[in-house]
Amino acid sequence: MELKQESLAGTLESSDLFIRISPSDEPLEVVINSEVGHQFGDQIRAAVVETLEMLKVTKGIVIVEDKGALDCTIRARVHAAAMRAAGVTEVDWEALS
């Protein structure tokens, strides 16, 4: 999935996360700031990176402000932000299975 524009998804509210994706020519850079990072940092990063891998996003800058979101929320937000950044509106469900 090729990123074409800046995109946002989510909110800064509790149990959610705010994600910002920007196109870039550099390899994927994922920056995560989480209120529960010391405890769940690796798990949050894994959820973000796996979702991006499934969507074949290999370049770009991803900034996540996490407010204690569950994994399913993280995946949904990352997915939404990546689609918006790529200008894609149809979900490719097979890529997610």
Partner 1 sequence: MARRYFHKAKVVTEDLQFYTVNPISNRVERKDIEQLLARCGLSYEEQIEAFVVCRDGNELVACAGLQKDIIKDVAIDPDYRGGAMSLKLVSEITYLAHSRGLDLLFVYTEPKNAEFFRGCGFYDLVEVPDRVTLLENTPIGIRSYCAKLARQRVAGEKIGCVVANANPFTLGHRYLIEQAAKACDWLHLFMVREDVSLFSYKDRYYLAQENIRGIPNVTLHEGSHYMISRATFPCYFFKDRGIVGKCRTAVDLLLFRNHIAPALGVTHRFVGTEPFCPTTNKYNTDMKVWLQEDVSKAPPIKVVEIERTQRNGLAISASEVRRLLRKGEMERIRDMVPPATFDLLESKYAALARPVTDT
Residues that bind partner 1 (CB under 8 A): 6, 8, 11-14, 18, 20, 22, 29, 31, 33, 61, 63, 65, 67, 80
Phi, psi of 65, rounded to the nearest 5 degrees: -105, 105
DSSP letter for 37, please: H
> Which one, 16 or 47, has the nearer CB to partner 1?
16
> Which one, 89 or 97, has the nearer CB to partner 1?
89
Q: What is the smallest separation between the CB atom of 63 and partner 1, expressed in angstroms?
A: 6
CA–CA separation, 39 and 87 (whole Å): 34
Radius of gyration of the CA atoms of the chain, in A: 12
- How many residues in the chain? 97
> Which one, 33 or 41, has the nearer CB to partner 1?
33
